Chain A
Amino acid sequence: MISRRNWIRYSGAGVAASFIPTSHASQGRVVVIGGGFAGASVARELRRLNNALSVSLIEANAIYTACPLSNMVVGGHRKISQQQFSYAALSADGVNVIHQPAVDVDPERHLVTLRDGNTLNYEKLILAPGIDLDWQALQGYDKTAAELLPHAWKAGPQTTLLRDQLRSMREGGLVVMSVPKSPYRCPPGPYERASLIAGYLKQNNPRAKVLILDSKDSFSKKPLFLSAWQSLYGDIIEWQGESDGATVTAVNAENRTVSTDFETVQADVANIIPPQKAGKIAHLAGVTDRSGWCPIEPVTFSSTLQPDVHVIGDAAIANAMPKSAFAANAQAKLCAVQVTRLLNGESPVHGKLINTCYSLVAPDYGISVAGVYQPGEKIWTEIDGAGGVSPADASRETRAVEAAYAQRWFDNLTTQVFA
């Protein structure tokens, strides 16, 4: 158990700030697990909305490595350090940041257990664990295999591993990408990655090719990607979908082969993006369903399976809203409002949310998808008539503007969450 003394030690900077009087009366205690775009945002928002709240953020890593724009690292246009952020600003805002993993949640006793054995008690728990890769889903693909065939679907060492494999690939080599069925983190991400890999190859290894073996037939911004690939990269990228029999069923890490039901492809570099599920702590907390993801009440993001637990970001089943950094941040800001109101005994707000995602087909060629969403009784639905993707006939100037916006989108979002 965490002693009162320990609690104060853990609380750190939070203690001083929490004595500043506010108009809100609540002295609630909120624990957030996971310090990505969802978790870090909600922790900070809660303190901004009510600085009398005690907010603890449990995150194993001291440095966060962001996924958006990490394909630019793979393509050689950004440094991995430009993707990295610390939690110093959150601590300064009075969030009690604890850098160790949470190993258990007891929803009945409202208790979170940390790796060192200490426990934290909460009135409201917000789970933002993101994704775990499903190491059981693809024959031959486990953590050891990922050291040879990188997934690079969690930014960090995997990202630079893939980049370095591309750089040292033989002349005229074949890059094979395996893409899972939906839902997975960042729906257009694999295709942005294929684009930026093709851009790198065009410059540095022009006879090399990219083969995408996809487990589905349609994907986010497909017509825009296909036409951009044609015009920018000619025949460097080949895409095969489910109806081509391209669903990857097994890999062999030692031989670097990727197999479907109909063929085995010899790769020089293989980027295997495996099926995914909600982060492990969500399973331990009992908030996942048979799909491996977390069902929620749309308006409040509260779990339908456990009381006083909210789930936001990639782990949540937000229906029409994609698993994106922007959606995670938007959900976090709404969830912070709802949790603050619930702790004050107020009723939740019916608010609309936005998602905006940019994909870079080249550093100066951006395309976007946007959507506006509203919570229904059971699900988040996209508002008809709004949203959609960049026009198919946009000029190269527009593509360049969207590419510049992608960069500023990232800067704004990361400033808001981490700076």
Chain B
Amino acid sequence: MQATEPDPATAVSVQACYGCHARPGTEANGLVSFSARSALEITNKLKAYRSGELTSTVMNRISRGYSPAELESIAAHMAELTANEAPCSR
């Protein structure tokens, strides 16, 4: 993985997301996976959860813990990990 180093706080936040969502490259039967989603797609979804425009079970409650800028960084890093992670690694 030779992705650009993300800001460490963002990397920490993204790891917390993988408590529920399968890490890219794993076979885990996690909740909705991020695979094949663009940063923009993820950003829009997170912001819609944050504003309440989109409703879900826990995502509205969790997304409100982050600023829109934080959500953007999280989405960008997630998309990058998905694109870069080789399927064999965790």
Contact = CB atoms under 8 A, between A and B. Distances in A.
B61 A48 contact: no
Contact of B61 (A329, A349, A370, A408): A370
B66 A415 contact: no
Interface stretch (A183-191, A232-240, A252-260, A385-393): A385-393
Interface in A313-358: 326, 329-330, 333-334, 337, 341, 349-354, 356
Contact residues on A (Cβ < 8 Å of other chain), bracket: 35 or more
A123 interface: no
Interface stretch (A72-80, A95-103, A104-112, A397-405): A397-405
A415 B17 contact: no
A386 B13 contact: no
Nearest to A334: B12
Contacts of A405: 20, 31, 57-58
A412 interface: yes
Contacts of B28: 411-412, 415-416, 419
A413 interface: yes
Nearest to A419: B28
Contacts of B19: 326, 329-330, 354, 356, 409, 412-413, 416
A63 interface: no
Interface string B42-76: 00000000000000011001111110000000000
Given A390-B57, A416-B26, A356 B20 contact: yes
Given A330-B16, A353-B16, A356-B58, A383 B65 contact: yes
A368 interface: yes
Q: SS class of chain B's interface: helix, strand, loop or mixed?
A: loop
A305 interface: no
Given A354-B19, A416-B23, A372 B66 contact: yes
B8 A337 contact: yes
A386 B57 contact: no
B55 to A, nearest CB: 10
B27 A415 contact: yes
Contacts of A372: 62, 64-66
Contact of A352 (B8, B23, B31, B66): B66
Contacts, number: 114
A329 B28 CA distance: 16
B34 to A, nearest CB: 13
A74 to B, nearest CB: 23
A408 B57 contact: no
A401 B56 CA distance: 10
Nearest to B64: A386
**Among B16, B18, B30: residue with most chain A CB under 10 A:** B16
Given A356-B20, A386-B61, A386-B64, A349 B31 contact: no
Contacts of B3: none
9 closest Cβ contacts across the A-B interface? A372-B65, A351-B12, A386-B65, A412-B30, A415-B28, A386-B64, A349-B8, A354-B16, A333-B15
Interface of A: 48, 326, 329-330, 333-334, 337, 341, 349-354, 356, 368, 370-372, 383, 385-388, 390, 398, 401-402, 405, 408-409, 411-413, 415-416, 419
Interface of B: 8-9, 11-13, 15-23, 26-31, 57-58, 61-66, 90
17 contacts: A329-B19, A337-B8, A337-B11, A337-B12, A352-B12, A354-B16, A370-B58, A372-B62, A372-B65, A372-B66, A398-B57, A401-B57, A402-B57, A405-B31, A408-B30, A413-B19, A416-B23
